[in-house]
Amino acid sequence: MKISIERAALLKAMAQAQSVVERRNTIPILANVLIEAEGDSVSFRATDLDIEVVERAPAQVERAGATTVSAVMLHEIARKLPDGALVSLTADAVAGRLTVQAGRSHFNLATLPREDFPVMASSEYTANFSANAGTLKRLFEKSKFAISTEETRYYLNGVFMHVATGEDGPVLRCVATDGHRLARIDAPLPAGAEDMPGVIVPRKTVGELRKLLDDDEAQIAVSVSETKIRFATPHITLTSKVIDGTFPDYARVIPMGNSRRLEVDAAEFAKAVDRVATVSSERARAVKLSLDEDRLVLSVNAPDAGAAEEELAVAYGDERLEIGFNAKYLLEIASQVDRENAVFLFNSSGDPTLMREGNDTSAVYVVMPMRV
């Protein structure tokens, strides 16, 4: 195999590949990227056995062929080469080496045979549809903060993507929860997604998917089966196994009867929470919200460190209420608001609180209170 490729194209492809590769693995081939050259393009394939990413890039192919080489090392080399360099990759299968040349730089890297590289088995997808990158980005970006990191409840270690019934008919919905907070985001249902099985997309896949969704206007081809999900653009295909488990009935924890309504500027609220939380010794400390007519007092009392309070002018017309929350959870939820105002709906100091943007019900967040 002998190819020449632009440094920028190589770097972009390798950035995606090396982030999929697991740093600590016991199978040497999984640290490698499979490079396959034919025609006028080259593909870079990386996997950790749960996720597989294939990126295609234009290249001058002098001799078609394939090899595998350390993904992290090739990425580091590409990163350190000068801008605009033309990189030549030459594989010698007999010697088991890949020569990387750019200008006066010359590298000789160890390779492993391409036959050893595990390629994810192709599967039949029950639903195939096309979705706007901006729509998918919103669904996953706004829900991923609530993904659980507890390995024991593995079925919460991802985003539950499924077809649901919204206020105006069927929607494509993403839900994530860790038991303390929940995010439920809706988008119009794309054509062809009606028969999609509900799947739990793993946390790592959600993180990798972010790189495919940079261009908001791009169309992403989405394919879903009971065991796998695939996202594809003309240049990149990301295939992932889904979490084998049943997502809990989240509708039961979304409060519907909360009537005490607080409206507050989301950015001001987040800054104020951040300021008063400074004195709490650890981030899990509760911030107390004291609500009275059109005023909100945020306070933290940490006996070993001190106390802080801040008052905000808000829109609130119900009876007095004191309620405590984890400061980190409040900050994460407030940072999801794109518009100016966040609307919090309370019931009592011991019940879950609902948050949304203005009257928009396509993004709903729930957070459990703490005792203060």
pLDDT of residue 105: 95
Judged against a pLDDT cut of 80, whether residue 15 lies above it is answered with: yes
pLDDT of residue 7: 96
pLDDT of residue 22: 86
Split at pLDDT 50, 70, 90, the class of 66 is very high
Judged against a pLDDT cut of 90, whether residue 318 lies above it is answered with: yes
pLDDT of residue 281: 64
Judged against a pLDDT cut of 90, whether residue 306 lies above it is answered with: no
Instruction: Note the CATH architecture for domain 127-252.
Output: Roll (3.10)
pLDDT of residue 305: 80
pLDDT of residue 285: 76
Q: Specify the pTM.
A: 0.92
Split at pLDDT 50, 70, 90, the class of 26 is confident
pLDDT of residue 46: 97
**What's the whole-number mean pLDDT along residues 59-83?**
96
**What's the whole-number mean pLDDT along residues 159-165?**
97
pLDDT of residue 371: 82
CATH, domain range 2-116: 3.10.150.10
**What's the whole-number mean pLDDT along residues 85-107?**
95
pLDDT single digits (tens) 274-295: 999 888 766 557 899 999 999 9
pLDDT of residue 339: 79
CATH, domain range 255-367: 3.10.150.10
Q: Which of 22-31, 144-153, 360-369 is least confident? A: 22-31
Domains 2-116 and 255-367 share a fold: yes
Judged against a pLDDT cut of 80, whether residue 340 lies above it is answered with: no
Give the percent of the chain with pLDDT over 90.
Answer: 84
**What's the whole-number mean pLDDT along residues 3-25?**
93
Q: Judge contact between 160 and 148, C-beta under 8 A.
A: no
pLDDT of residue 284: 56
Q: Is 121 or 139 the better-scoring residue by pLDDT?
A: 139
Q: Judge contact between 312 and 269, C-beta under 8 A.
A: yes
Q: What is the 3-state secondary structure (H, E, C) of the chain?
A: CEEEEEHHHHHHHHHHHHHHCCCCCCCHHHHEEEEEEECCEEEEEEECCCEEEEEEEECEEEECEEEEEEHHHHHHHHHHCCCCCEEEEEEECCCCEEEEEECCEEEEEEEECHHHCCCCCCCCCCEEEEEEHHHHHHHHHCCHHHCCCCHHHHHHCEEEEEEEEECCEEEEEEEEECCCEEEEEEEECCCCCCCCCCEEEEHHHHHHHHHHCCCCCCEEEEEECCCEEEEECCCEEEEEECCCCCCCCHHHHCCCCCCEEEEEEHHHHHHHHHHHHHHCCCCCCEEEEEEECCEEEEEEEECCCEEEEEEEECEECCCCEEEEEEHHHHHHHHCCCCCCEEEEEECCCCCCEEEEECCEEEEEEEECCECC
pLDDT single digits (tens) 172-230: 999 999 999 999 999 999 999 999 999 999 999 999 999 889 888 899 999 999 999 99
Sequence ranges of the domains in the chain: 2-116, 127-252, 255-367
